[in-house]
A and B are shown apart, each in its own frame.
Chain A
């Protein structure tokens, strides 16, 4: 597994968060998460406009193996979902940090408090073995 992108934040639920210039964040699942899930065959994404609480389940990724919830890493409002995943859910596997992003969230938590940096997330992965 390659090094974790240092410009992203992470959650213990294996999501990544990329802060954007406009103050919103883009959310996806980590390379580790997609490897554990196996090939994705269906992704259910939240509708733009939906308000979500931190840690609330708001998307579902289904692999050949199982369905897994994806949680909102921060409270906010969904402002976009990655529609390319409807036709090609495998983008999450092939490009977890770029083309396989899941949704974009407008959040009031500008400091992204409570999220892990790459080093802290790496320690979590090491501890999980």
Chain B
């Protein structure tokens, strides 16, 4: 039995094609997936991301727990700030990626984690096991819904729909920061490469905000557009571009590892330290197909420095050609070939992101 978000009826009423995703019944698209994609790049789109798992962490040992659990360091966070991090296993493989927010004014130091839907049980088990040695309390927030409003006009269109006390502060938020007023949590984060907010609110208030956003002219967008947008933005997808068998160093995520202070023994550190000394065996980078056709996951990439594999591939509506993320030898650069249905097609290695804030960044 798949689970349903508080917005399930809204999706069905809007004619969404519903698909199973990570144990949830989620909208793939409402009409044209490509139109949904363009709506986010040019104006504003809204995504139901209530299937993601929200975990609040509190207690005297909360910070120590997260500094052990995460490769990035929550000691860097002032109240109201967020960071992106991997949660690693002992061999440096990625158990999941997540955003951790330091909550302001919650009596003591408290955090909020947002993790992927498909990895929910594994993540919670791991967190509980690690938390056992710290005075940290974990609470999953089944009572909350999460709505992402993204696009150049997202904040203009969504701002008037929030309480006055929230709107002004939310509009002034720097990227990767959040405010919390009562049970409304607004963060300037997202997964599309555009400006916007991720809004957490009580589940029974979600439909009202959703309706108001659509009324304001924001386009409802499904998982399909979410994937093409994040691929253009060069953002990793868990289970494709990284998983437990690879480290952040070969997943273009070295920037998310807080090596200092050297004494912080986060899980996976020893393995990463070793990998850093020997040098990573591969790197994750971008690909643009020179011809028509579509690159897909697991296709072979042939470069002058050796072979690699596509980890995420697809069609870029903004560039009107196929783009991909691929894990290739460290020395690989420039021209290459991708094997699509037994034929080698010319492609080019590029540095992601492909598109950001509505602009194509690779030619």
Give the interface of A toward B (CB within 8 A): 38-39, 41-42, 44, 60, 62, 64-67, 86
Contacts and interface: CB of A to CB of B under 8 A. Distances in A.
Interface of B: 28-29, 32-34, 224, 228, 292-294, 296, 314-315, 317, 322, 341
Given A39-B32, A39-B33, A64 B292 contact: no
Contacts of B341: 44, 60, 67
A41 B29 CA distance: 16
A33 to B, nearest CB: 14
B34 A67 contact: no
Given A38-B29, A42-B315, A64 B228 contact: yes
B224 A67 contact: no
25 contacts: A38-B28, A38-B33, A38-B224, A39-B32, A39-B33, A41-B294, A41-B315, A42-B292, A42-B315, A42-B322, A44-B293, A44-B341, A60-B341, A62-B293, A62-B294, A62-B315, A64-B33, A64-B224, A64-B228, A64-B317, A65-B33, A65-B224, A66-B296, A67-B341, A86-B292
Contacts of B317: 64
A64 B34 contact: yes
A60 B342 CA distance: 13
A67 B294 contact: yes
B296 A67 contact: yes
Nearest to A90: B34
B314 A64 contact: yes
Nearest to B31: A39
Contacts of B32: 39
Given A39-B33, A62-B293, A64-B314, 14 more contacts: A39-B32, A39-B34, A41-B315, A42-B294, A42-B322, A44-B341, A62-B315, A64-B33, A64-B34, A64-B224, A64-B315, A65-B33, A67-B296, A86-B292
A42 B291 CA distance: 11
- Residue with the highest number of chain A CB atoms closer than 10 Å, among B314, B317, B322: B314
A38 B294 CA distance: 14
B344 to A, nearest CB: 15
- Residue with the highest number of chain A CB atoms closer than 10 Å, among B28, B33, B292: B292
Contacts of B292: 42, 86
B29 to A, nearest CB: 7
